[in-house]
Amino acid sequence: MNALARCAAGLLLSTICLPFAALAADPQPTTEFTLDNGLKVVVREDHRAPVVVSQVWYKVGSSYETPGQTGLSHALEHMMFKGSSKAGPGEASLILRDLGAEENAFTSDDYTAYYQVLARDRLAVAFELEADRMATLRLPPEEFAREIEVIKEERRLRTDDKPNAKAYERFKAIAYPASGYHTPTIGWMADLDRMKVEELRHWYESWYVPNNATLVVVGDVKPDEVKALAERFFGPVPRRDVPPSKKPLELPEPGLRQITVHVATQMPSLMYGFNVPSLATATDPQSVNALRLISALLDGGYSARIPTRLERGEELVTGASSDYDAYTRGDSLFTISATPNQQKKKTLADAEAGIWRLLDELKTKPPAKEELERVRAQVIAGLVYERDSITSQASTIGELETVGLSWKLIDQELAALQSVTPEDIQKAARTYFTRERLAVAHVLPEEKTQ
Amino acid sequence: MSQRNESRFARTRACSFALAVTFGLLGAASAMAETAAEAPKAIDKAASTLESLKELDSKAPARRSLNIQSWNTAEGARVLFVEAHELPMFDMRLLFAAGSSQDGATPGIALVTNAMLNEGVKGKNVSAIAEGFEGLGADFGNGSYRDMAIASLRSLSAADKREPALKLFAEVVGKPTFPADSLARIKNQLLASFEYQKQNPGKLAGDELFKRLYGDHPYAHPSMGTAKSIAPLTLAQLKAFHAKAYAAGNAVIALAGDLTRAEAEAVAAQVSAALPKGPALAQTLAPTAPKPSETHIEFPSKQTHLMLAELGITRGDPDYAALSLGNSIVGGGGFGSRLMTEVREKRGLTYGVSSGFTPMQAQGPFMISLQTRAELSENTLKLVKDITRDFLANGPTQKELDDAKRELAGSFPLATASNAAIVGQLGAVGFYNLPLTYLEDFMTQSQSVTVEQIKTVMNKHLDADKLVIVTAGPTVPQKPLPPPTDKPAEQPLGVPEH
């Protein structure tokens, strides 16, 4: 169905069907091209300030890892700062720091990305260093021996000593029974303990090639100059075949799974996760758009249903949230988390009952028109606000491209959500919010051994 | 609940001249000597291998020029405004001298008052207010810290969105009704937060540190107050606090975005007129220097959190430029700082270590913070102290200083690249009563700082024997530190070529 037909078909989200361009600023010029070696480049112009962000996204992350080798992608990310042919260990960071650049990197289930934000006249330096480590990473064993200790400190800091992060890691492991998404990105401690630099070399050689990467540049640049620089620095990096990679697919209805985790907390809490498709795996994209809309209805703002009803109305919880990431490479998870209101003597069971009331209502009752208008207003405004940050624009483009979608989806976001009908919402709720798709974690205080 | 990204170093490097409002706990500066020569070497070598670097001229990069306009409203609020028509949106930030330093005998009242702003206005309860903003696509934000309390609005600039959003915002900030049921709920939510904090050794150590550092000064207690201090707060107390601390004379209005000067004046006038009438509150008094101390909090974690601090400087301190550069060299600049090099890069002891000055209305802290595995904590603490002592004794090298200056000049364009960044800068300039040329002045001053000056001012403000130290972690048998790696020898280019 084309956009107009959808519009006529009784839209949920809008009373008037204005094209997006009439509501916000003109779309920003965005250009894409692919170098001969397979490196995909997306350039978005933003001439507000003489700055630019450059990001290189590799299609590899913890969902590509096998048991016993968890944490490889993230460890390799750390080692990418330990020297290549043109810069010794740590030197690239010093060079970039010296130029006033912000730089860092991040790893997730689906990708590993590196970025620099800097004055526009310095873009070539970012490209030269990034291209150099794409082709000639050294991976010195003595550097690895120290860096793996840093990574273990990172794990202790961000997971082991954080009760809720630790519980979430366990929860994720049961929520994804079939796919690599059960692997924590930082890796299990036992795997960090036995990781070898040779494994990193193999990982690097397998995945770090131009034809497995996307270069995203947003800022005060012209596509022609970026193309010339990209060809000059990234162009000579040879193409090489990468191992076949498969979308992480889940069992559609794995069955109810429940885990009880005792951690160093005083506050019981719970996590819910329903196995659902993503935009990249759904046979019916409309179900994904419906889930996104549901996520907005539940927790898209302080006026959404979870804060209004569970937190303020019934005061069942002191805090709760829902989340759905439609932009994953494989099947996704629709999550809800909640902390029961202890002062009001509410239990985990009370909070769960409240969550189910919200979910069951979605199955039977169409949302109010005003609610949908609010979601629409937030989407429209959010698209403008996102453009205040060149980094957030680049990240959206990079993530979409890396999970197998197109950056062009950004400009279709509003139309996609507007196309959702009340029937779509009810159908999605009935299909996905079932016990067969549900993983539950009860996070409880440690039991005293006396 | 989504916690998907793992980063090599999670802390975003604060812009060196982070004017953007610093809220209390951000850290800042210290140093070390034998590494001094290394960073420069790296750059020199890279300059010879990197084509792009050779082609780069040494000029400071271009940046977006900021035409800051400023005036006072009829009721006495100071306004700072930057016109930016590129995107059809605007940002407004109101800053009140209404942070926890104004709590007096009721710790937490500033934060609770701030949290209650959007809980009720005439004819609207909390949900209706949220629906009002969200139905326009507007973002309302609030927050309360030690010096300041903030209320902010981001909205599309089209009149049919802007006008109703502003009307609601003005009511929320100026004429909140403080409903009783909301207060009960917010107290409950704060009690839950206190419970959560008990599982966070970093937070426990931070609270203890401020207590040790500030004694009976208003900065000593956490902005959230405590379970004990929150419970008895009454609606009457909140209303009285709002009437004096959210007065127009105690407010600064920062505005950036798609507004003409005339529109900006109207916006500021509307908001200012809605506020209670009244003057600025008295400035926070200077704290007295604390006694050096070392406090340990027993906590069953895997890591030990280490914090080392002294009183630092006020926002208006003339030494700030030199201290900021000195701090950047010691521990403020992320990778390449002496602390990061010695503690993480050479020994793998920590994921992150940083130092920083947080200039505030009264002397904010200078703080070094890090975490390491418990069995190495004592020796790591010693290492960090040695690094600090060494920097104070010997100062930076000329090369370190030149690099830090170049970095600062290079990062300058990033400080004004977005509306969000601009409104942050405006807010700080306004709140701390800095000249409108502050950013440029800071830059100019920084470029003329000398090695001697850094050594002098660092020692004027810091003393390695007067550190207030707090650690939190388990008590375990201690082990020696691994030996540092020397700078790795020149390596052959024999990396497999693909």
Q: Tell me if B495 and A119 make a contact (CB, 8 A cut-off).
A: no
Neighbours of B362 (CB within 10 A): 21
Write out the CATH class of domain B69-274: alpha beta
Which of A60, A132, A149, A211 is the best substitution to test chain B (most B C-beta atoms within 10 A)?
A149
> Considering the domain boundaries, does residue A257 fall inside one?
yes
Residue A172 has pLDDT above 60, yes or no: yes
Partner-chain contact A49 B417, CB within 8 Å: yes
Within-domain flag for A22: no
Answer yes or no: are the C-beta atoms of A278 and A416 closer than 8 Å.
no
pLDDT of A6 higher than 50 = no
Range(s) of the domain holding residue A291? 248-445
Q: Does residue B309 contact residue B436 with C-beta atoms inside 8 Å?
A: no
User: Nearest Cβ partner of A343 from B87, B188, B488?
Assistant: B188
**pLDDT at residue A413, as a whole number:** 83
Q: Say which residue the tokens 């006020």 belong to.
A: B314
Secondary element (H or E) of residue A299 = helix A285-299
Number of domains in chain A: 2
Which residue ranges does chain B devote to CATH 3.30.830.10? Answer: 34-39+286-473, 69-274
> Touching check for A440 and chain B: CB below 8 Å?
no
CA nearest to B190, candidates B247, B232, B161 = B232
C-alpha distance from A424 to closest chain B C-alpha (Å): 23
A195-240 confidence digits (pLDDT tens):
999 999 999 999 999 999 999 999 999 999 999 999 999 999 999 9
Same domain, A146 and A188: yes
Mean pLDDT value of segment A185-196: 98
Q: Could you give the C-alpha distances from A348 to B196, B280, B431, in angstroms and in order?
A: 17, 47, 45
Q: Do B349 and A339 touch (CB under 8 A)?
A: no
Last residue of a domain, one of A198, A233, A268: A233
Q: Between the CA atoms of A192, A195, A201 and A204, what dihedral angle is there, to the nearest 10 degrees? A: -30
Q: What pLDDT is stored for residue B205 in this prediction?
A: 97
Does residue A193 share a domain with residue A252? no
Contacts of B156 in chain A (CB under 8 A): 24, 380-381, 384
- Mutation target vs A (from B8, B67, B344; most A CBs, 10 A cutoff): B8
B51 and A119: CB-CB below 8 Å? no
Give the CATH number, domain containing residue A305. 3.30.830.10
A144 Cβ under 8 Å from any chain B Cβ:
no
Minimal C-alpha gap between A442 and chain B (Å)? 14
The Cα of B274 is separated from the nearest Cα of chain A by a number of Å equal to: 24
Determine the Cα–Cα distance for residues B409 and A252; give it in Å rounded to an integer. Answer: 55
- The verdict on a CB contact (< 8 Å) between A265 and B199 is yes
What is the separation of C-alpha A12 from the centre of its chain, rounded to a whole number of angstroms? 27
Quote the crossing angle between the two packed helices B419-431 and B438-447, to the nearest 10°. 90
For A138, phi and psi rounded to 5 degrees?
A: -90, -40
Nearest to B7 among A106, A163, A343 (CB): A106
Q: How far is B302 from chain A (nearest CA, A)?
A: 6
Same-domain pairing of A209 and A262: no
Residues A74 and A141 in one domain: yes
What residues of B are in contact with residue A98 (Cβ under 8 Å)?
Answer: 43, 403, 406-407, 410
Which residues 397-416 of A are in CB contact (within 8 Å) with B? none
Among B3, B4, B6, B302, the residue to mutate for chain A (most A Cβ within 10 A): B6
Contact A100 B420 (CB under 8 A): no
One domain for residues A219 and A101:
yes
Mean pLDDT of A109-136: 97
Pair B336, A101: CB distance under 8 Å: no
10-residue stretch averages of pLDDT, chain B, 498 residues long: 47 33 29 32 62 85 88 97 96 98 97 98 97 97 97 97 98 98 95 92 97 97 96 98 98 98 98 98 96 97 97 96 97 90 94 96 97 97 97 97 94 93 96 94 95 98 97 97 68 37
Q: Does residue A101 fall inside a structural domain? A: yes
Has residue A371 got a pLDDT over 60? yes
Chain B neighbors of A109, CB-CB under 8 A: 4
Residue length, chain B? 498
Residue of A nearest to B408 (CA): A100
Q: Looking at beta carbons, which residues of chain B come within 8 Å of A238?
A: 498
Query: Do A201 and A321 fall into the same domain?
Result: no
Q: Select from A140, A147, A374 the Cβ nearest to the Cβ of B131.
A: A374
Residue A374, chain B, CB below 8 Å: the answer is yes
Please judge whether A91 and B496 are an interchain contact, meaning their C-beta atoms are less than 8 angstroms apart.
no
Does residue A362 sit in the same domain as residue A326? yes
Do residues B73 and B417 make contact, with C-beta atoms less than 8 angstroms apart?
A: no
> CB neighbours of B342 closer than 8 A, spacing ≥ 6?
B32, B35, B383, B387, B484
- Interface contact A81, partner B, CB < 8 A: yes
Residue B496: predicted pLDDT: 36
Residues A97 and A216 in one domain: yes
User: Looking at the DSSP assignment, which residues form a beta bridge with residue A272?
Assistant: A336, A440
Tokens representing B191 are 């009690």
Q: Where are the alpha helices (DSSP H) in A208-331?
A: 223-233, 285-299, 305
The pLDDT of residue A86 is 96
Query: Across the strands, what pairs with B293?
Result: B468
Q: Which one of A100, A240, A318 has the shortest CB-CB distance to B498?
A: A240
| Same domain assignment for residues A127 and A197 | yes
Q: Does A295 touch chain B (CB under 8 A)?
A: no
Four-way CATH pick for B34-39+286-473: 3.30.230.10, 3.40.50.300, 3.30.830.10, 1.20.1050.10: 3.30.830.10
Three-class SS of A111-154:
CEEEEEEEEHHHHHHHHHHHHHHHHCCCCCHHHHHHHHHHHHHH
| A window 179-198, beta carbon within 8 A of B | 185-186
State whether B346 and A107 contact (CB < 8 Å). Answer: no
Q: Is residue A24 part of a domain?
A: no
Nearest chain B Cα to A312, which residue?
B185
* Residues A151, A95 within the same domain: yes
Euclidean distance between the first and the last CA atom of chain A, given in angstroms as a whole number = 66
Query: What does pLDDT average to over chain A?
Result: 92
Q: How many CB pairs under 8 A join A and B?
A: 324
E-state strands within A278-368: 317-324, 332-340
Contact B345 A90 (CB under 8 A): yes
B130·A307 Cβ contact <8 A: yes
User: Is A48 in contact with B417 (Cβ distance < 8 A)?
Assistant: yes
Same domain membership, residue A105 and residue A34? yes
Q: Residue B482: its chain A contacts at CB < 8 A?
A: 146, 149
- A120 near B CB under 8 A: yes
Three-state DSSP state, A438: strand
| Interchain pair A318, B192: CB under 8 A | yes
- Regarding whether A301 and A277 lie in a shared domain, the answer is yes
Name chain B contacts of A81, Cβ cutoff 8 Å: 8, 335
Q: Tell me which of A13, A81, A82, A98 to substitute to probe the interface with B (most B C-beta atoms closer than 10 Å).
A: A98
Q: Do A87 and B87 touch (CB under 8 A)?
A: no
Q: CA B15, CA B159: separation in Å to the nearest integer?
A: 35
